[in-house]
Structure 1
Amino acid sequence: MSAQEHPEPNGWRVFHATGSAPEVPPPLPAPPPWRRFRGGPAEPTPPDDPEAAQRRLGPGEITPQLGPDGIDVVNAALLLRRPLLITGPPGVGKSTLAYVISRELGLGRVLEWNVVSRTTLRDGLYVHDAMGRAQAIAAWQAGLREAGVREAAAGPAGAGTSDFSKSGQLPPVLGDFITLGPLGTALLPYDRPRVLLVDELDKSDIDLPNDLLHVLENGSYEVPELVRDAADSARVHTSDPSGRAHVVGGRIECREFPVVVITSNGEREFPAAFRRRCLPLEMRVPSREQLLAMVQGHLGERPPGTEDLVDLFVRRVQAGGTHSLDQLLNAVQLTTAGGFQSDGHGRTLMEMLLRDLAKGR
């Protein structure tokens, strides 16, 4: 039999938590029959954003934070085309995992949807600038009126010209005032999946997880304004810089279901119907060795005193405090400033940087 008929035992694992950019993006395993989509026409390959990835991951090598079980969960989500629901305390690298996946699999720029209490499903899908469109139409109509006045003044010689040529402008088109949100952009018909980070979903209104069910299940949605428009298709803006997309009939369906990374700080429980559609992954505070490696990966070095700061950070976390990796990186970075002394006033500043976030100020 052929090699395709006898795949390697670990062939379904395409993600290994290294975060290393591949020379050639690896192929993803085929989706199950019930997670195949037929959206089109295919959109061009999205842009990359290496600067954003470096801000999240640092310039050095990635320090793996997932064990074999966690890596298997990510690979299962990739194979089954299901969202990852990542839980854990603040600052342990939940949102960073989206950038690790994107870089390692060569999936381009990560789309971020930062959720707050006022966020609605429509915010993630698209925005219609109705006011801007109304102003553009009013300006266009004013141009027509001015052209009509000029034509009347010119007499019979100006007769017979169209309204468009009178004003020198085409009427505003609806697509120019539609911008797809991060979720809406991720569901465009790309040949390879986009990575969508839905950050801190537990801060949302109680209805948002339920509102997401249909979109996450069907991989499609409609823009009612475009459905009602007389034009059969439209060019709309996307969440990518200067991005435009072609929408036919007001309906958008993906070709490859996006890699959806949903983070939660555990501030609330999600409905069972929502959890059924996600694969759960819990991330824990990194170990001392991982923290030292992460500091070196972000800063490119291990400044003097790093071990003492990491030990202090670990003790405070183990004592039940709420701390973020950003606090540790800030504290270590400050020690590299010329002339900074960690005693006296410097010690007070360190205490402020490494304060317990659960205690407010």
Structure 2
Amino acid sequence: MSAHENGTGRDADARPQTPSDWRVFRATGVPAEDRAVLPEAPPWRRFHGSPAQPCAPDDEQAATRRLGQLDATPQLGPEEIDTVNAALLLRRPLLITGAPGVGKSTLAYLIARELGLGRVLEWNIVSRTTLRDGLYAHDAIGRAQAIAAWRAAALRTDPSAPDDPAYAGQGEHQLPPPLGEFVTLGPLGTALLPYDRPRLLLIDELDKSDIDLPNDLLHVLENGNYEIPELVRDATGSAEVHTADPGGHAVVSGGRVECREFPVVVITSNGEREFPAAFRRRCLPLEMRTPSKEQLLAMVEGHLRSRPEAAEDLVDLFVQRVNAGGTHSLDQLLNAVQLTTAGGFQADGDGRKLVESLLRDLAKGR
């Protein structure tokens, strides 16, 4: 998925905001002065995890790479905006389908920036991905090596020390390495920590997964919790583990994690296969369409901080090729505009061939 995809849909004006409007998401990507107040969850989607986690960190660099500098222009049409708001209100995953490169994954960044949800947690799916990959990883080999080193150090300090990981000795230097140091929560596992404000989880290209993964997700998406068996069996009762955020840590009690606010889950699919009915009924569907000419020009201006003279002609060419049935990515358009505005580049002759190559039909495999 391109790093420059821009979440866009049908060209339409945003719905007017009124004091009684139920919508909190406007699809502009522009954050409010104060963090948006999210609607209260339905009674059947309320959770009570603890202990409460601090607010998620921001990653404005990643958001800017995806979105550029946005203004108040809506990036989606009214129907798409309503679908996103319904998912927010009902605390249900958003299942986004559409052609590759149309901006599905970037919608997650649009929502996170506008609602002030912090850094997006990305879970990129491949054919070998399992549910546990998303929840947590336990470095059993690293722990075994650390315990062996601890035992050796303990014996050097006290030759009579028993050869047992439970032995704590008398000095702090003799304590065995804690189990939590070798447990790292994945993107899904981190998103389900008990935050007072929901995290945004992007599950990208779920249709590339093994056939069992969507069904394996059902329990977690329905119940908002999971267990880490290694920590359940640990006698200490609680453990400080690593999270999917850089340098992040969290305390897990009794080996069980439960959210306080169900995360905003954005699932993307290129439509390579159908999902089970039990999975689909837990999601709200949203089909992403190719952006209009005006939205594409706004996207170019947002990324390049200007609207080059050649941009409109390239957008026209891009739209023409998409309407002809080709498969094209928004990243191709940005690359073509960037190249043609480079100093000294000539967009005729060999230069024209290069532009044609950048805007080629991706479905043809060349």
TM-score, length-scaled by structure 1: 0.92
Q: CA deviation at 1:21?
A: 1.4
Q: Is the 8 A contact 2:131 2:213 kept in 1?
A: yes
| Rounded Cα–Cα distance in structure 2 between residues aligned with 1:281 and 1:238 | 30
* 2:256 aligned with 1:246: no
Q: 1:108 aligns with which of 114, 118, 129?
A: 118
| Rounded Cα–Cα distance in structure 2 between residues aligned with 1:59 and 1:91 | 19
Report the identity percentage.
76
Counterpart for residue 69 of structure 1: 79
Q: CA deviation at 1:287?
A: 1.0
* 2:101 aligned with 1:91: yes
Q: Amino acid of the residue matched to residue 107 of structure 2?
A: L
Which range is displaced more, 142-151 or 192-201? 142-151
Q: Is the 8 A contact 1:144 1:167 kept in 2?
A: no
* 2:236 aligned with 1:212: no
Which range is displaced more, 68-77 or 206-215? 68-77
Q: CA deviation at 1:163?
A: 6.5
Q: Deviations over 1:173-226 (max 9, x none)?
A: 110000000000000000010010111101111000000000000000000100
Counterpart for residue 142 of structure 2: 132
Counterpart for residue 182 of structure 2: 177
Q: Amino acid of the residue matched to residue 201 of structure 1?
A: L
Q: Could you say what secondary structure the match of 1:340 adopts?
A: coil
Q: Is the 8 A contact 1:62 1:294 kept in 2?
A: no
Which of the two has greater helix per residue?
1
Counterpart for residue 321 of structure 1: 326
Counterpart for residue 357 of structure 1: 362
Q: CA deviation at 1:165?
A: 5.4
User: CA 1:167 to 1:187, structure 2 compared with 1: closer, same or farther past 3 Å?
Assistant: closer
1:136-215 mapped onto 2 (5 Å cutoff): 136-148=146-158, 164=169, 168-215=173-220
Q: Could you say what secondary structure the match of 2:149 adopts?
A: helix
Q: CA deviation at 1:335?
A: 1.5
Counterpart for residue 235 of structure 2: 230
RMSD: 1.7
Q: 1:258 aligns with which of 255, 263, 273?
A: 263
1:33-52 mapped onto 2 (5 Å cutoff): 33-52=43-62
* 2:286 aligned with 1:276: no
Q: CA deviation at 1:170?
A: 2.4
Q: Is the 8 A contact 2:30 2:70 kept in 1?
A: no
TM-score, length-scaled by structure 2: 0.90
Q: Is the 8 A contact 1:187 1:252 kept in 2?
A: yes
Q: CA deviation at 1:18?
A: 1.3
Which range is displaced more, 119-128 or 56-65? 56-65
Counterpart for residue 53 of structure 1: 63
| Rounded Cα–Cα distance in structure 1 between residues aligned with 2:304 and 2:294 | 16
Q: Is the 8 A contact 1:60 1:297 kept in 2?
A: yes
Q: Deviations over 1:207-256 (max 9, x none)?
A: 00000000000000000100011110000000011000010000000000
Q: Amino acid of the residue matched to residue 222 of structure 2?
A: E
| Rounded Cα–Cα distance in structure 2 between residues aligned with 1:80 and 1:247 | 27
Q: Is the 8 A contact 2:345 2:351 kept in 1?
A: yes
Which range is displaced more, 211-220 or 305-314? 305-314
Structure number with greater Rg is 1
Q: CA deviation at 1:149?
A: 5.6
| Rounded Cα–Cα distance in structure 2 between residues aligned with 1:145 and 1:354 | 67
| Rounded Cα–Cα distance in structure 2 between residues aligned with 1:114 and 1:358 | 22
Q: CA deviation at 1:340?
A: 0.9
| Rounded Cα–Cα distance in structure 2 between residues aligned with 1:62 and 1:318 | 27
Q: Amino acid of the residue matched to residue 119 of structure 1?
A: T
Gaps of 5+ in 2: 1-17, 162-166
